[in-house]
Structure 1
Amino acid sequence: MRKIRIMEHISLDGVMQHEDSDGFAHGNWTNPYRTPAGLEAVVEAQGSHFDLLLGRRTYDAWADFWPKAGDYPVANSLNAATKYVATHRPDGLEWGPAESLGADTLAGIRALKATAGPDLIVWGSSTLTSVLLAQGLVDEVLLLVYPVLLGRGKRFFSDHVDPCELAFLSTQATSTGVLLNTYRYVGALQKTAG
């Protein structure tokens, strides 16, 4: 059985949006905080052999960027990974290898998770991330938390995610104050007496 691992860059107030759109004017806000050591930590956390589980918007944005990014380890590993895409438009998946998850996305993800193979890494894909958390399909969450407050923008933790519990596994800090916090998904949040 495969693990599903979510990896995401977020601000202290949970904003994950990086592109200037829908009135959001802080694109590329993570760039000043990136370091070679931080990149190395992300590459190590991601692993050398994985597949990607992506929403259609993230797939399209990455398909425009990563194939042209040049010959370096991050680009090479993302380009080589099989991309499993949650989409209602299975045509146009030229950035391969790529496969649609089918008309029933959840059934496709459950079937894929039950197979043997490398971990499935989710980057971006906020709608898909919410569904995965709500359905209890996530095994691990790695949040790269940046020391900024953005106030508005698309958030990693939407109002539509059911309350859940994550167990803290580890943290690592970069020289620019980015925290790489890793959590294991536990399940629905339990009410406490009191």
Structure 2
Amino acid sequence: MRTVRIIEHISLDGVIQAPGGPEEDTNGRFEHGGWAFPHHDEAVGEAIGAAHPGGFDLLLGRRTYDIFASHWPHQEGPMAEGLNGARKYVATHRPESLGWGPAEGLGADIAASLRKIKAGEGPDLVVWGSSTITPALIEHGLADEVVLLVFPVMLGRGKRIFSDTAAATELSLISSKAAGSGVIINIYKPAGPARTGSFAESAE
């Protein structure tokens, strides 16, 4: 059984779209690309590095795959080596065009493919920035760890990490650290269905 770790740059109002640059993802006329960059500091970089163990594979949506494929093959250093060498599992309708390898498509039934991959042997699976795969992992109970880098910005609109169709779920906070830039680094583990109650009952 493989560990599935989601890592996201996320705004205070839940947006994960285009944190890295103005042209990263303009879908829906999103105009705030690059919102994470001004707040990136050493502590954030260390948290990202810690989320990628010595060996790992990647689960990516097609847009994230294309963004990474245009950038990381031209970079150097441990992170570039890890990402370039990782096997990439990609949600795509065009598996024949996955030139940044090793890579393979997840097929039409993404949830079934993710279950099969998770059940097999291999290194940790790291999920980056996908508004397609991330909701599916949470909805189907396939995520083991969620690393949220919460940035001190509000964007108002854009793609969000949590789907409206995802089941109501609780997450246990494993650790929390504030970076000097104001980014809050929270690590969670899924903790089962969301519970409900009433403050009126506790006052009786």
Determine if the TM-score, normalized by the shorter chain, exceeds 0.5.
yes
Residue 95 of structure 2: SS of its match in structure 1?
Answer: coil
Residue 145 of structure 1: SS of its match in structure 2?
Answer: strand
Match of 1:178 in 2: 183
- 1:187 aligned to which of 192, 195, 198: 192
* Distance in 1, Cα, partners of 2:163 & 2:121: 31
**CA drift at 1:189:** 1.4
Match of 1:5 in 2: 5
* Distance in 1, Cα, partners of 2:63 & 2:26: 14
**CA drift at 1:58:** 1.3
Q: Specify the code of the residue in structure 2 equivalent to 1:176.
A: S
Asked whether 1:41 is paired with 2:50, we answer no
1:35-87: CA deviation from partner (whole Å, max 9, x where unpaired): 1332122101222211001112211221112112x212222211111101122
Normalised TM-score (structure 1): 0.93
Q: Specify the code of the residue in structure 2 equivalent to 1:2.
A: R
Match of 2:89 in 1: 84
Instruction: Let me know the Cα RMSD of the aligned residues.
Output: 1.5
Asked whether 1:66 is paired with 2:72, we answer yes
1:76-133: CA deviation from partner (whole Å, max 9, x where unpaired): 2111111011222211111011112233222211111111111111111112111111
* Distance in 2, Cα, partners of 1:185 & 1:178: 22
**CA drift at 1:155:** 1.2
Match of 1:29 in 2: 35
Task: Give the length in aligned residue pairs.
Answer: 193
Residue 167 of structure 1: SS of its match in structure 2?
Answer: strand
Match of 2:61 in 1: 55
* Distance in 1, Cα, partners of 2:162 & 2:112: 23
* Distance in 1, Cα, partners of 2:109 & 2:157: 32
Deviates most, 126-135 or 59-68: 59-68
- 1:110 aligned to which of 95, 112, 115: 115
Match of 2:21 in 1: none
* Distance in 1, Cα, partners of 2:132 & 2:54: 26
- Contiguous gaps of at least 5 residues in structure 1: none
Who wins on radius of gyration, i.e. which is larger?
A: 2
Match of 1:167 in 2: 172
* Distance in 1, Cα, partners of 2:84 & 2:30: 28
